[in-house]
Amino acid sequence: MDHSNYVIDQMISAKSIAARVEELAVEIGTHFADTDKLIVVGLLRGSFVFIADLVRELDLPCEVDFLETSSYGDGMKSSREVRILKDLRGEIEGRDILVVEDIVDTGHTLKHVINLLQTRNPSRLEVCALLDKPSRREVDVKATWTGFEIPDEFVVGYGIDYAQRNRNLDHIGAVRFLDK
Protein backbone atom coordinates (compact mmCIF):
# COMPACT_ATOMS: atom_id res chain seq x y z
CA MET A 1 0.00 0.00 0.00
CA ASP A 2 1.36 3.42 -0.96
CA HIS A 3 1.36 5.68 2.08
CA SER A 4 2.74 8.70 0.24
CA ASN A 5 -0.52 9.46 -1.55
CA TYR A 6 -2.12 11.38 1.30
CA VAL A 7 -1.61 14.30 3.65
CA ILE A 8 -3.09 14.88 7.08
CA ASP A 9 -4.78 18.18 7.91
CA GLN A 10 -5.04 18.94 11.62
CA MET A 11 -8.65 18.85 12.79
CA ILE A 12 -8.40 18.82 16.61
CA SER A 13 -5.24 20.02 18.37
CA ALA A 14 -3.42 18.16 21.13
CA LYS A 15 -4.23 21.05 23.48
CA SER A 16 -7.97 20.82 22.71
CA ILE A 17 -7.92 17.05 23.25
CA ALA A 18 -6.14 17.39 26.61
CA ALA A 19 -8.64 20.00 27.81
CA ARG A 20 -11.60 17.88 26.76
CA VAL A 21 -10.17 14.74 28.39
CA GLU A 22 -9.95 16.66 31.69
CA GLU A 23 -13.58 17.76 31.34
CA LEU A 24 -14.72 14.23 30.52
CA ALA A 25 -12.88 12.85 33.56
CA VAL A 26 -14.71 15.29 35.84
CA GLU A 27 -18.11 14.37 34.33
CA ILE A 28 -17.38 10.63 34.54
CA GLY A 29 -16.01 10.98 38.07
CA THR A 30 -19.19 12.74 39.18
CA HIS A 31 -21.38 10.08 37.59
CA PHE A 32 -19.46 7.18 39.17
CA ALA A 33 -18.63 8.95 42.46
CA ASP A 34 -20.32 6.22 44.52
CA THR A 35 -18.49 3.28 42.92
CA ASP A 36 -15.97 1.22 44.87
CA LYS A 37 -14.03 0.35 41.71
CA LEU A 38 -14.82 1.28 38.14
CA ILE A 39 -13.77 -1.08 35.37
CA VAL A 40 -12.66 0.98 32.39
CA VAL A 41 -12.86 -1.15 29.25
CA GLY A 42 -10.87 0.14 26.31
CA LEU A 43 -11.70 -0.97 22.79
CA LEU A 44 -8.40 -1.77 21.14
CA ARG A 45 -6.56 -0.63 19.32
CA GLY A 46 -7.78 2.86 18.57
CA SER A 47 -8.64 3.83 22.14
CA PHE A 48 -5.28 3.07 23.80
CA VAL A 49 -3.98 6.67 23.88
CA PHE A 50 -7.35 8.09 24.92
CA ILE A 51 -7.89 5.52 27.68
CA ALA A 52 -4.38 6.12 29.07
CA ASP A 53 -4.96 9.87 29.29
CA LEU A 54 -8.52 9.48 30.61
CA VAL A 55 -7.71 7.08 33.47
CA ARG A 56 -4.83 9.30 34.60
CA GLU A 57 -7.35 12.13 34.96
CA LEU A 58 -10.01 10.07 36.78
CA ASP A 59 -10.14 10.65 40.52
CA LEU A 60 -11.71 7.23 41.17
CA PRO A 61 -10.45 3.77 42.02
CA CYS A 62 -10.42 1.98 38.68
CA GLU A 63 -9.27 -1.14 36.95
CA VAL A 64 -8.46 -1.24 33.23
CA ASP A 65 -9.29 -4.08 30.87
CA PHE A 66 -9.46 -4.32 27.11
CA LEU A 67 -11.58 -5.78 24.35
CA GLU A 68 -10.20 -5.95 20.84
CA THR A 69 -12.67 -5.87 18.01
CA SER A 70 -12.26 -5.79 14.28
CA SER A 71 -14.52 -4.36 11.62
CA TYR A 72 -12.13 -2.37 9.43
CA GLY A 73 -8.99 -4.37 8.63
CA ASP A 74 -6.68 -2.04 6.71
CA GLY A 75 -9.47 -0.29 4.85
CA MET A 76 -11.31 2.96 5.34
CA LYS A 77 -14.83 1.53 5.47
CA SER A 78 -16.40 -0.67 8.12
CA SER A 79 -17.22 -4.22 7.03
CA ARG A 80 -20.14 -4.12 9.53
CA GLU A 81 -19.07 -7.61 10.64
CA VAL A 82 -17.79 -7.21 14.20
CA ARG A 83 -15.40 -9.83 15.51
CA ILE A 84 -14.05 -10.07 19.07
CA LEU A 85 -10.30 -10.68 18.80
CA LYS A 86 -9.52 -10.27 22.52
CA ASP A 87 -12.04 -10.62 25.32
CA LEU A 88 -11.98 -9.21 28.85
CA ARG A 89 -9.77 -10.96 31.38
CA GLY A 90 -12.01 -10.31 34.38
CA GLU A 91 -15.63 -10.76 35.41
CA ILE A 92 -17.90 -7.71 35.22
CA GLU A 93 -21.09 -9.01 36.82
CA GLY A 94 -22.43 -6.49 39.33
CA ARG A 95 -19.66 -4.02 38.52
CA ASP A 96 -19.68 -0.49 37.11
CA ILE A 97 -18.31 -0.45 33.57
CA LEU A 98 -17.10 2.43 31.41
CA VAL A 99 -16.49 1.43 27.79
CA VAL A 100 -13.96 3.75 26.13
CA GLU A 101 -14.15 3.96 22.34
CA ASP A 102 -12.04 6.00 19.95
CA ILE A 103 -14.75 6.80 17.42
CA VAL A 104 -18.42 5.99 16.93
CA ASP A 105 -19.01 5.78 13.20
CA THR A 106 -21.72 3.43 11.88
CA GLY A 107 -22.32 2.26 15.45
CA HIS A 108 -22.13 -1.45 14.64
CA THR A 109 -19.03 -2.14 16.76
CA LEU A 110 -20.25 -0.20 19.78
CA LYS A 111 -23.73 -1.76 19.60
CA HIS A 112 -22.18 -5.24 19.41
CA VAL A 113 -19.90 -4.55 22.39
CA ILE A 114 -22.71 -3.07 24.51
CA ASN A 115 -24.96 -6.05 23.77
CA LEU A 116 -22.16 -8.49 24.61
CA LEU A 117 -21.27 -6.78 27.89
CA GLN A 118 -24.92 -6.41 28.94
CA THR A 119 -25.26 -10.22 28.84
CA ARG A 120 -22.63 -10.33 31.60
CA ASN A 121 -24.89 -8.35 33.97
CA PRO A 122 -22.86 -5.28 34.93
CA SER A 123 -24.35 -2.98 37.56
CA ARG A 124 -24.01 0.05 35.26
CA LEU A 125 -22.60 0.29 31.76
CA GLU A 126 -21.78 3.68 30.25
CA VAL A 127 -19.79 4.68 27.17
CA CYS A 128 -17.27 7.43 26.55
CA ALA A 129 -16.20 8.05 22.95
CA LEU A 130 -13.48 10.46 21.92
CA LEU A 131 -15.10 11.14 18.54
CA ASP A 132 -18.61 10.82 17.15
CA LYS A 133 -19.69 10.90 13.51
CA PRO A 134 -23.49 10.98 13.82
CA SER A 135 -23.93 11.48 10.05
CA ARG A 136 -22.60 7.92 9.51
CA ARG A 137 -24.79 6.17 12.09
CA GLU A 138 -26.56 3.06 10.84
CA VAL A 139 -27.72 1.63 14.18
CA ASP A 140 -29.29 3.31 17.19
CA VAL A 141 -26.41 3.72 19.63
CA LYS A 142 -25.06 6.74 21.47
CA ALA A 143 -22.17 7.30 23.85
CA THR A 144 -22.99 8.69 27.30
CA TRP A 145 -20.07 11.12 26.93
CA THR A 146 -18.47 12.34 23.70
CA GLY A 147 -15.27 14.27 23.33
CA PHE A 148 -15.91 15.79 19.91
CA GLU A 149 -18.53 15.50 17.21
CA ILE A 150 -16.88 15.47 13.80
CA PRO A 151 -18.05 15.53 10.18
CA ASP A 152 -17.83 12.51 7.90
CA GLU A 153 -14.07 12.59 7.41
CA PHE A 154 -11.55 9.78 7.66
CA VAL A 155 -9.37 10.69 10.64
CA VAL A 156 -6.11 9.54 12.20
CA GLY A 157 -3.98 10.38 15.20
CA TYR A 158 -4.20 10.10 18.99
CA GLY A 159 -4.36 6.31 18.68
CA ILE A 160 -6.50 6.15 15.54
CA ASP A 161 -4.83 4.69 12.46
CA TYR A 162 -4.99 4.31 8.73
CA ALA A 163 -3.51 0.91 7.79
CA GLN A 164 -1.68 0.84 11.14
CA ARG A 165 -0.04 4.23 10.57
CA ASN A 166 -0.40 7.64 12.25
CA ARG A 167 -1.53 6.37 15.69
CA ASN A 168 1.38 8.30 17.22
CA LEU A 169 0.17 11.77 16.20
CA ASP A 170 -0.67 13.93 19.23
CA HIS A 171 -3.67 15.46 17.44
CA ILE A 172 -6.61 14.32 15.31
CA GLY A 173 -6.15 14.91 11.61
CA ALA A 174 -8.29 14.43 8.52
CA VAL A 175 -6.77 12.26 5.79
CA ARG A 176 -6.73 13.98 2.40
CA PHE A 177 -5.79 11.84 -0.60
CA LEU A 178 -3.66 13.41 -3.30
CA ASP A 179 -4.47 13.14 -6.98
CA LYS A 180 -1.91 11.17 -8.94
Q: Which of 2, 105, 132, 140 is catalytic?
A: 105
Active site includes 170?
no
Contacts 24+ apart (CB under 8 A), 54-61: 54/21, 54/24, 54/25, 54/28, 54/100, 54/128, 57/21, 57/22, 57/24, 57/25, 58/25, 58/28, 58/29, 59/25, 59/29, 60/28, 60/29, 60/32, 60/33, 60/35, 61/35, 61/36, 61/37
Q: Which residues are catalytic?
A: 105
